[in-house]
């Protein structure tokens, strides 16, 4: 006799409880391994960039696939080495000046803001929120252990090379986790994500370059110290929309305030003019082929990703948001709801 055997209803209930427990355990494990997942995502983003460079070599230089991929890897490594040389050698004195003056400039700004009751409450709220945030812990960790940051960068670069060398292995592995009937839909979704990220990286490169050049030239005309380093910082900050450019603007305003009022006004005019040019002319022109995400959603999503996963995730938060929106459009709106969603870049050619 099977007197202890559960009936069909109990068996279904037990299966559901087990499924919920497994999902909760997987989510907990993903949160605990957040830094590793962010590094893996950054590596996959780097692999997409390498393949975009390789496609350019194939089309323009008529190189075969394998030599073009090898040349793209060498190009990517050369770009990384150039950035290290730029920060470590060429702009080292200017960066040291920024780092040395940053704490004093922040303290002066906080004192000036604290002169009013509302400003004092705002300063206290920001300090309290930052002190207990994950980002603050990551900043202190970076300051105390530069070796960990360097190791993460090396892992990201090596992972990007591995992903770029044979992406099909990893894509097939992901699709093996999906039931066979749903694999074509997920394969299309992964292809859409890759195409959208490739377009997004191209637009970000254009935006970062124009922002860096325009800000650097404007600050040089305004007589602000270290215009080249500040321009480079402004360009790189475009990788994190809204938050990055705002954070990059503060040291420039602080340094200009130590020179003269005219330099401060010139710095303000520079950032305001460049932002107007970027928002009204450059950004609409280069982003018309990429997925359109509402600004408010972008801003709060980036903040939320930074709070949950920390400072490292903040650098890739915009790309993560692009992936999430693309998957929602492809898997939910197109495959489940049946909305006629266009492929990445389709509306640009119409």
Pick the most confident of 137-141, 143-147, 216-220, 255-259.
Answer: 216-220
- pLDDT at position 341: 73
Among 116-125, 133-142, 145-154, 249-258, the range scoring the smallest mean pLDDT is 133-142
pLDDT band at 69 (very low <50, low <70, confident <90, very high): very high
**Long-range CB contacts for residues 33-38, cutoff 8 Å, separation at least 24:** 34/308, 34/309, 34/310, 34/313, 35/152, 35/309, 35/310, 35/312, 38/309, 38/312, 38/313, 38/316
Among 124-138, 232-246, 269-283, the range scoring the smallest mean pLDDT is 124-138
Ranges of beta strands (E only) in the chain are none
pLDDT tens digits, one per residue of 3-61: 556 666 777 888 888 888 988 887 787 777 777 888 889 999 999 999 999 999 999 88
The proportion of the chain whose per-residue pLDDT surpasses 90, expressed as a percent, equals: 21
Q: Helix and strand tally (H, E) in the chain?
A: 17, 0
- pLDDT at position 349: 45
Please say if the pLDDT value at position 113 is more than 70.
Answer: no
- pLDDT at position 130: 52
Q: d(Cα 330, Cα 192) in Å, to the nearest integer?
A: 8
- pLDDT at position 57: 92
What's the chain's average pLDDT?
81
- pLDDT at position 343: 64
Q: What backbone torsions phi and psi does residue 72 show, to the nearest 5 degrees?
A: -65, -40
pLDDT band at 244 (very low <50, low <70, confident <90, very high): confident
The proportion of the chain whose per-residue pLDDT surpasses 70, expressed as a percent, equals: 81
pLDDT tens digits, one per residue of 293-346: 777 888 888 888 877 777 777 888 889 889 998 998 888 888 888 777 776 655
- pLDDT at position 103: 64
- pLDDT at position 87: 72
- pLDDT at position 1: 47
- pLDDT at position 3: 58
Domain boundaries, the chain: 35-349
Among 47-51, 85-89, 139-143, 157-161, the range scoring the smallest mean pLDDT is 139-143
pTM more than 0.85: no
Average pLDDT score over residue span 175-193: 89
- pLDDT at position 123: 65
Longest dimension (CA), the chain: 93
**Do the beta carbons of residue 127 and residue 109 sit within 8 Å?**
no
CA-CA-CA-CA torsion sign (144, 150, 156, 162):
negative
By C-alpha distance, which of 312, 313, 315, 308 is closest to 134? 308
By C-alpha distance, which of 14, 52, 315 is closest to 198? 52
Please say if the pLDDT value at position 273 is more than 80.
Answer: yes
pLDDT band at 350 (very low <50, low <70, confident <90, very high): very low
- pLDDT at position 51: 93
Q: Which residue has the higher pLDDT, 284 or 276?
A: 276
User: Cβ contacts of residue 207 below 8 Å, gap of 6+?
Assistant: 238, 278, 282, 283, 286
Token pair for residue 69? 């991929």
Q: What is the dihedral of CA 321, 327, 328, 330, to 10 degrees?
A: 140
By C-alpha distance, which of 120, 117, 290 is closest to 198? 290
Please say if the pLDDT value at position 270 is more than 90.
Answer: yes
Q: d(Cα 297, Cα 303) in Å, to the nearest integer?
A: 10
């Amino acid at each position: 006799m099977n007197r202890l055997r559960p009936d069909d209803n109990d068996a279904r209930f037990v299966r559901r409880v087990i499924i919920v427990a497994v999902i909760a355990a997987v989510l907990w494990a993903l949160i605990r391994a957040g830094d590793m997942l962010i590094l893996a995502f950054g590596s996959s983003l780097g692999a997409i960039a390498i393949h975009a460079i390789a496609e350019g070599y194939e089309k323009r230089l008529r190189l075969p696939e394998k030599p073009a991929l090898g040349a793209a890897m060498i190009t990517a490594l050369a770009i990384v080495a150039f950035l290290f040389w730029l920060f470590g050698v060429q702009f080292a004195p200017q960066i040291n000046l920024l780092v040395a003056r940053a704490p004093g400039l922040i303290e002066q700004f906080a004192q000036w803001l604290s002169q009013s009751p509302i400003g004092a409450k705002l300063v206290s709220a920001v300090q309290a929120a930052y002190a207990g945030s994950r980002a603050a812990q990551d900043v202190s960790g970076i300051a105390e252990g530069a070796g960990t940051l360097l190791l993460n960068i090396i892992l990201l670069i090596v992972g990007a090379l591995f992903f770029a060398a044979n992406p099909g292995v990893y894509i097939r592995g992901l699709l093996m986790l999906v039931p066979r009937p749903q694999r074509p839909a997920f394969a299309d979704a992964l292809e859409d994500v890759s195409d959208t990220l490739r377009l997004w990286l191209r637009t970000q490169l254009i935006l970062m370059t124009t922002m860096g050049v325009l800000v650097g030239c404007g600050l040089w005309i305004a007589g602000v110290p270290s215009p080249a380093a500040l321009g480079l910082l402004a360009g790189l900050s475009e990788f994190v929309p809204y938050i990055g450019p705002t954070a990059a603007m503060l040291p420039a305003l602080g340094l200009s305030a130590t020179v003269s009022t005219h330099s401060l006004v010139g710095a303000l005019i520079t950032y305001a003019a460049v932002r107007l040019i970027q928002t009204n002319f450059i950004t609409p022109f280069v982003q018309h082929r990429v997925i359109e995400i509402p600004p408010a959603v972008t801003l709060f999503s980036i903040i939320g990703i930074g709070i949950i996963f920390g400072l490292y995730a903040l650098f890739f938060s915009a790309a993560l948001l692009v992936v999430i929106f693309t998957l929602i459009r492809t898997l939910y709106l197109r495959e489940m709801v049946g909305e006629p969603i266009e492929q990445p870049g389709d509306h640009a050619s119409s």
